[in-house]
Each structure stands twice: as C-alpha cells, then as structure tokens.
C-alpha cells in the first residue's frame, strides 16, 4: 500500500504579493486551476494521503483537502524532521508501508507518466532503496539541484552524486552529458528503510523520532512532540540522508514537471495567449509580449512592455521584469524591516 505524504510546510515569499504568511504558495491556484496543494492531492488519487503542515495552516489544509490525514509540525524545521514525523505516523497505522514523499507546490502536466514513475519507484523501493524521482532536464536550468545517475538498479538507476544548483556552463555540460536529472524533491521508500537511514546518518533525529513514535495515539503525544521536535536537526532530507545513503536510486521521468519556482515559471504551467502573455482577471495588454499580468478586482492595463510581471492584489501591487522574478525578495525584505509595512507580509 502506497502512502502519499505531501509536504505543505513551506512558507516561501517568491510569489508575494499573491502569497502571504497566512497563505503561502501551496495554497495559491498558480496554474489557473485549484490551489497547488489541491492539485497535488488530486494527482495521488487512490493512495492514502497525508499532508504535513504548520499549525497555522492546518485549518486551511483540512478545508482544502478533506480526504487527507493532516500531520502538524509544531514549527518549520526543514524536510528531514517533517519526513521523520510523517513516517512515524504512517508506521503507526502500517509499519511496513511504502511512502511517497512529495512537495505540495509543484506542477505535473502528464499525470499518467507521473503515476507510472511513482509505480516504478515503489517497485524499486520494495527492494530496500530510497528512490528519488528525477526529471529529465529540458534546458540548462541553474535554479535546480541535479542528480548524476549511475548504472541500472532494477527498473531504476543508481545515484552517483547529488549536486547543488550549478552555474550556467556547468548546467549546460550536465544537459549535454545526458547523465544528469533534476532533483525534484520527491522520494519513495519503505518506512523501515528510512528509519534505518535516519539511525545511520541522523542519529539525533532518529533518537527523537523513536521516542516520539511510542506516544502516537496517546495523550502524551502533543507534549512529547513539542519537546522532541525541536531536538531534531533542522536539515533537509537531501543533505541529511540522500547525499549520504548508499542505497539511493533514481527513476528518471518526463512528466511535464515544474516546481513553479517564481512568476517567471508561470508561462510553463498556464495558458499563454498568442502574444506570449499570461493574464488573469480584467486585463488589457497592448503591444505586449511575454508578460505575466495577474489582476484581481481592478482593470489592469499594460502597454508596450516585454517580459514584464504585474501582479495586482487587493492591497498590494508588484511590477518587475520577468527575468528578475527572484528579486521580489528585495521587496519582502523591505517589508520585514519596516513595522508599518509588516501587514503586507
């Protein structure tokens, strides 16, 4: 039985002013349909689905995805503690379960291909591997981590190396070599295998989660969680386990994947008009190409611009070049540094 664990603890700011502290990226309908979290859960139809999220977002998660079991993190401590916590809960109901841990804020265009890759990964996981889904790169993107693949391991491939975001020449080399796939942050493993990996590579975390497991379903759980969770190192599963474990495997796939990383990525995942513009709401574009214009209640008119992002919300407006979409953080920094502007976060 495959248990899907959807990680919804993120609190990024790359979609400000759409995203706010109370409503981060995974809760936004960035593809023009349902919120990313809802679309993610839909993709996993038929699996037992768990969502890991922070306390403040739990009510919203329960409202959006009624079918899922919700696991609440007392605080955000990166992915390794979140996965440990979720694994503990899944093991409580199914000690031999296979888990598919998936980000809540990505887009997949080709769901059947994605499901097939998950299936292959689950088969490989059954043999004791921690399997990651790797996305075959379509461009020398410098915004993703890469995985260098090795020799076949059953229906999957071995992992030679996890590498951090490369510079452009390096990424171009990766693309040409055909030996690299994008690290999409998706992991499939049997629960006892991951616990073993924690024991080996993250003993502190293992000790905490092992103690916590004893209290699941008891009245002591909440208070033990509050004490033990902060003892788990705030480390990513990549750094804490994937880059160290010997039993890693990768299933390369092409399923129209996007991490929807910034406004710049929206043309990948949304309807693009004949001028290459993505628009939402009451929008007039004149002599515009390659723009992303997201309105809300106002009429938004953009004239004579190429590759511009305009995002209008009830109380805040953002204008920046599409290629500088990451620079939205510079605005967020100013908001954080100014008490009068805090309310826009």
Q: CB 135 → a second copy: shortest distance, Å?
A: 29
User: Which CB, 165 or 330, lies closer to a second copy?
Assistant: 330
Q: Within positions 132 to 171, which residues make up the interface with a second copy, using CB under 8 A?
A: none
User: Which CB, 231 or 296, lies closer to a second copy?
Assistant: 296
Q: CB 345 → a second copy: shortest distance, Å?
A: 11
User: Which CB, 179 or 307, lies closer to a second copy?
Assistant: 307
Q: Is 298 in the site for a second copy (CB under 8 A)?
A: yes
Q: Is 319 in the site for a second copy (CB under 8 A)?
A: yes
What angle do helix axes 79-93 and 203-213 make, rounded to 10 degrees?
30
Q: CB 330 → a second copy: shortest distance, Å?
A: 5
Q: Is 308 in the site for a second copy (CB under 8 A)?
A: yes
Binder among 46, 167, 274, 303 for a second copy (CB under 8 A): 303
For residues 286 and 28, what is the distance between their CA atoms, to the nearest angstrom? Answer: 27
For residues 339 and 341, what is the distance between their CA atoms, to the nearest angstrom? Answer: 5
For residues 191 and 87, what is the distance between their CA atoms, to the nearest angstrom? Answer: 6
For residues 52 and 86, what is the distance between their CA atoms, to the nearest angstrom? Answer: 7
Please choose, out of 130-138, 228-236, 237-245, 331-339, the segment that lies near a second copy by the rule CB under 8 A: 331-339
For residues 342, 319, 264, 333, the Cα torsion angle rounded to the nearest 10 degrees is: -30
Q: Is 310 in the site for a second copy (CB under 8 A)?
A: yes
Q: CB 12 → a second copy: shortest distance, Å?
A: 17
Instruction: Mark residue 142 as left, alpha or beta (left: phi above 0; alpha: psi -120 to 50; beta: remaining).
Output: alpha
Q: What angle do CA 280, 285, 287 make, to 5 degrees?
A: 145
Q: Is 312 in the site for a second copy (CB under 8 A)?
A: yes
Q: What angle do CA 277, 14, 254 make, to 5 degrees?
A: 65
Binder among 94, 164, 204, 327 for a second copy (CB under 8 A): 327
Through-space distance between the first and last CA atoms of the chain, rounded to whole angstroms? 41
Q: Do the beta carbons of residue 248 and residue 132 sit within 8 Å?
A: yes
Q: Do the beta carbons of residue 53 and residue 8 sit within 8 Å?
A: yes
User: Which CB, 225 or 309, lies closer to a second copy?
Assistant: 309
3 state DSSP class of 134:
strand
Q: Within positions 188 to 217, which residues make up the interface with a second copy, using CB under 8 A?
A: none
Binder among 96, 177, 274, 314 for a second copy (CB under 8 A): 314
Please report where in the chains the tokens 């996007």 appear, as a residue. Answer: 258
Size of the site for a second copy (CB under 8 A): 33
Q: Is 336 in the site for a second copy (CB under 8 A)?
A: no
User: Which CB, 208 or 310, lies closer to a second copy?
Assistant: 310
User: Which CB, 167 or 314, lies closer to a second copy?
Assistant: 314
For residues 205 and 195, what is the distance between their CA atoms, to the nearest angstrom? Answer: 10
Instruction: Mark residue 221 as left, alpha or beta (left: phi above 0; alpha: psi -120 to 50; beta: remaining).
Output: alpha
Binding mask 12-31 for a second copy (x = CB under 8 A): -----x--------------
Q: Would you tell me which residues interact with a second copy (CB under 8 A)? A: 17, 284, 286-287, 295, 298-305, 308, 310, 312, 314-321, 324, 327-328, 330-331, 334-335, 341, 344
């Amino acid at each position: 039985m495959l248990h899907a664990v959807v990680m919804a603890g993120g609190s990024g700011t790359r979609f400000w002013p759409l995203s706010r502290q109370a409503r981060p990226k995974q809760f936004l309908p960035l593809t023009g349909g349902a919120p990313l979290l809802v679309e993610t859960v839909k993709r996993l139809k038929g699996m037992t689905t768990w969502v890991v999220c922070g306390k403040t977002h739990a009510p919203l998660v329960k409202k959006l995805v009624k079918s899922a079991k919700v696991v609440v993190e007392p605080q955000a401590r990166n992915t390794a503690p979140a996965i440990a916590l979720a694994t503990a809960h899944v093991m409580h109901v199914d000690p031999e379960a296979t888990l598919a841990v998936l980000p809540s804020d990505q887009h997949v265009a080709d769901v059947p291909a994605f499901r097939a890759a998950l299936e292959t990964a689950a088969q490989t996981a059954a043999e004791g591997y921690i399997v990651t889904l790797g996305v075959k790169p379509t461009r020398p993107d410098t915004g993703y981590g890469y995985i260098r693949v090795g020799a076949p391991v059953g229906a999957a491939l071995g992992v030679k190396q996890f590498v951090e975001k490369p510079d452009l020449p390096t990424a171009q080399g990766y693309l040409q070599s055909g030996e690299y796939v994008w690290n999409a942050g998706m992991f499939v493993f049997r629960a006892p295998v991951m616990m073993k990996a924690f024991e080996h590579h993250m003993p502190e975390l293992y000790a905490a989660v092992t103690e916590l497991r004893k209290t699941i379903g008891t009245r002591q759980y909440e208070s033990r969680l509050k004490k033990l969770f902060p003892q788990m190192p705030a480390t990513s599963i990549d750094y804490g386990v994937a880059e160290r474990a010997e039993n890693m495997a990768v299933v390369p796939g092409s399923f129209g994947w996007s991490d929807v990383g910034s406004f710049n990525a929206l043309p990948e995942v949304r309807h693009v008009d004949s001028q290459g513009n993505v628009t939402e709401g009451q929008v007039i574009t004149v002599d515009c190409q390659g723009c992303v214009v997201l309105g809300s209640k106002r009429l938004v008119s953009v004239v004579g611009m190429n590759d511009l992002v305009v995002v209008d919300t009830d109380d805040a407006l953002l204008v920046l070049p599409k290629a500088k979409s990451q620079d939205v953080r510079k605005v967020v920094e100013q908001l954080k540094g100014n008490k009068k502007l805090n309310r826009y976060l």
